[in-house]
């Protein structure tokens, strides 16, 4: 500023003008900032309202979620119950099918034993039953001689020819069954006194009529799928077979004697 | 609904009786043949929906019957379940080589029989 050219008054006026401009600029800036504050305040209010609205929505969703979770828990419980019931039904079904099979087997045994008066057919039926229902392809059927002193083989399947032609009553496991009338069941009966050829004997059941022993059925090695084990139903089946076979063989003998 | 027709083939009356009793409850029409040639004839004339075929039979065994049925156009796709006393792997392999779809070992489990028959009939 050239003080000398304009003089003190000019200088003062110039300062005054500059000051006025500066104040004007400040006022403008102030107004702009006020406007900005107002706009932001408006936006804040709007955002607060929006936030409240969103919080309400979140709360509603939480409630719905809780409700769904409760429903899910209920459905899971029902599913667990249904699975439990389904398992029970499945077990029951298996049990019934097994019973059905067992009854079918018992019926077939009974029917086959009494369906003929032909002795050879009865012996063949006994073999079939042991092979197909008990699960052994090695068996022999013995009958007691008139004196009751020895057993004579009347039929066999899967055994070496000539083996077990006769057995003295009381000798070995098979002879012991003929003497005592008590069945021999591998794993349940005493093996002491067994003969070498009885090493593979699995079961031996007496043929009895009215308590009188007429012979025995001896079952040796089981089929591979039986894994060497007779189950409780096999015992039941063998017991029924022995009883029915004894009666049937007795009737065939009577029939042969009475035949002209 | 039309009842499914099953041909039971076995030379043992005991086994046939047992199979009939177990399957009767499932309401199938059951046909019976007691030897291989009879089974062939019945399969060709009746065209059953499934055949339950015993392996060990006199004259013509189950393997041969199975092979012959597979060679015939009309019986080629009939499901065959072999029933065998021999549960060893090599016997099972022979059964599949002959063309069977499945097998059951003796003594027959009713549950296994019913479920396998039902399974093959529903395919």
Q: How far apart are the first and last CA of chain B?
A: 16
Length of chain B in terms of residues written: 123
pTM of this structure: 0.76
The pLDDT assigned to A2 comes to 53
* Residues A108, B106: C-beta atoms closer than 8 Å: no
* Rounded (5°) CA angle A57-A58-A62: 120
CB-based contacts of A132, cutoff 8 Å, min separation 6:
B12, B14, B15, B18, B85, B106, B107, B108
B15 touches chain A (CB under 8 A): yes
CB-based contacts of B65, cutoff 8 Å, min separation 6:
B9, B36, B39, B40, B53, B57
Can you tell me the mean pLDDT for A18-47?
Answer: 95
Can you tell me the mean pLDDT for A182-192?
Answer: 92
Q: Chains A and B: how many Cβ contacts under 8 Å?
A: 73
Q: How far is CA B83 from CA A41, A154, B9, in A?
A: 89, 29, 9
B107 touches chain A (CB under 8 A): yes
Burial of residue A249 (number of CB atoms within 10 Å: 0-12, 13-18, 19+): buried
- β-strand B5-9 against B29-33: which pairing, if any? parallel
DSSP letter for each residue of B20-65: HHHHHTTT-EEEEESSHHHHHHHHHHH--SEEEEES--SSS-HHHH
The listed range with the strongest mean pLDDT (A44-53, A90-99, A250-259, B85-94) is A44-53
Q: What is the DSSP letter of A226?
A: G
B14 touches chain A (CB under 8 A): yes
Among A13-17, A21-25, A229-233, B86-90, the range scoring the smallest mean pLDDT is B86-90
Residue A1 has pLDDT above 60, yes or no: no
B59 touches chain A (CB under 8 A): no
- Assign B112 to helix, strand or coil: helix
Interface test with A, best of B9, B107, B114 (most A CBs within 10 A): B107
Residue A107 has pLDDT above 70, yes or no: yes
Can you tell me the mean pLDDT for A65-87?
Answer: 96
Can you tell me the mean pLDDT for A76-80?
Answer: 96
CB-based contacts of B48, cutoff 8 Å, min separation 6:
B5, B6, B7, B31, B42, B78
The pLDDT assigned to A4 comes to 57
ipTM of model: 0.87
Among A52-66, A90-104, B30-44, the range scoring the smallest mean pLDDT is A90-104
Phi and psi, residue A207, nearest 5°: -90, 115
The pLDDT assigned to A161 comes to 82
* Residues A225, B15: C-beta atoms closer than 8 Å: no
Q: pLDDT of B54-86, one tens digit each?
A: 999 999 999 999 999 999 999 999 999 999 988
B88 touches chain A (CB under 8 A): yes
Can you tell me the mean pLDDT for A114-140?
Answer: 94
Residue A142 has pLDDT above 60, yes or no: yes
- Chain A residues within 8 A of B18 when measuring between CB atoms: 101, 104-105, 108, 132-133
Can you tell me the mean pLDDT for A201-215?
Answer: 95
Supply the angle between the helices B13-24 and A119-129 in degrees, to the nearest 10: 60
The pLDDT assigned to A3 comes to 52
Residue A258 has pLDDT above 90, yes or no: no
Can you tell me the mean pLDDT for A107-116?
Answer: 89
Q: pLDDT of B88-122, one tens digit each?
A: 888 899 999 999 999 999 999 999 999 999 999 99
Place of tokens 């070496």: A160
Q: Half-sphere exposure of B23 toward its Cβ, with a 13 Å CA cutoff?
A: 26
What is the rounded average pLDDT for all residues in chain A?
92
The pLDDT assigned to A5 comes to 62
pLDDT-derived band at A163 (thresholds 50, 70, 90) equals confident
The pLDDT assigned to A72 comes to 97
Cβ-contact B9, B62 below 8 angstroms:
yes
pLDDT-derived band at A98 (thresholds 50, 70, 90) equals confident
Residue A71 has pLDDT above 60, yes or no: yes
pLDDT-derived band at A18 (thresholds 50, 70, 90) equals very high
């Amino acid at each position: 500023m050239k003080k000398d050219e304009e003089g003190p008054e000019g200088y003062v006026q110039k300062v005054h003008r500059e000051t006025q401009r500066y104040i004007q600029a400040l006022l403008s800036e102030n107004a702009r900032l006020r406007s900005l504050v107002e706009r932001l305040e408006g936006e804040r209010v709007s955002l607060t309202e929006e936030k409240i609205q969103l919080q309400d929505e979140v709360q509603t969703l939480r409630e719905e979620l809780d409700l769904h979770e409760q429903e899910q828990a209920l459905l899971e419980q029902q599913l667990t119950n249904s699975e439990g019931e389904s398992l029970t039904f499945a077990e029951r079904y298996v049990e019934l099918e097994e019973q059905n099979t067992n009854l079918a087997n018992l019926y077939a045994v009974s029917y086959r034993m009494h369906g003929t008066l032909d002795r050879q057919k009865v012996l063949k039926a006994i073999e079939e039953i042991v092979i197909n229902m008990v699960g052994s392809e090695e068996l022999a059927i013995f009958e007691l001689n008139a004196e009751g002193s020895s057993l004579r083989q009347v039929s066999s399947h899967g055994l070496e020819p000539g083996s077990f032609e006769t057995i003295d009553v009381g000798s070995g496991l098979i002879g012991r069954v003929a003497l005592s009338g008590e069945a021999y069941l591998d794993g349940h009966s005493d093996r002491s006194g067994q003969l070498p050829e009885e090493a593979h004997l699995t079961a031996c059941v007496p043929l009895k009529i009215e308590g009188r022993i007429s012979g025995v059925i001896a079952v040796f090695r089981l089929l591979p799928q039986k894994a060497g084990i007779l189950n409780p139903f096999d015992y039941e089946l063998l017991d029924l077979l022995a009883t029915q076979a004894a009666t049937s063989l007795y009737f065939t003998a009577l029939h042969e004697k009475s035949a002209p | 609904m039309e009842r499914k027709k099953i041909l039971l083939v076995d030379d043992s009356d005991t086994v046939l009786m047992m199979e009939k009793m177990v399957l009767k409850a499932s309401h199938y029409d059951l046909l019976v043949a007691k030897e291989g040639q009879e089974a062939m004839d019945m399969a060709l004339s009746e065209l059953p929906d499934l055949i339950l075929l015993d392996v060990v039979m006199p004259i013509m065994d189950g393997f041969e019957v199975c092979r012959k049925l597979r060679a015939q156009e009309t019986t080629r796709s009939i499901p065959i379940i072999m029933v065998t006393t021999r549960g060893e792997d090599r016997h099972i392999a022979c059964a599949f080589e002959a063309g069977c779809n499945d097998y059951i070992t003796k003594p027959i489990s009713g549950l296994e029989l019913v479920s396998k028959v039902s399974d093959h009939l529903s395919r």
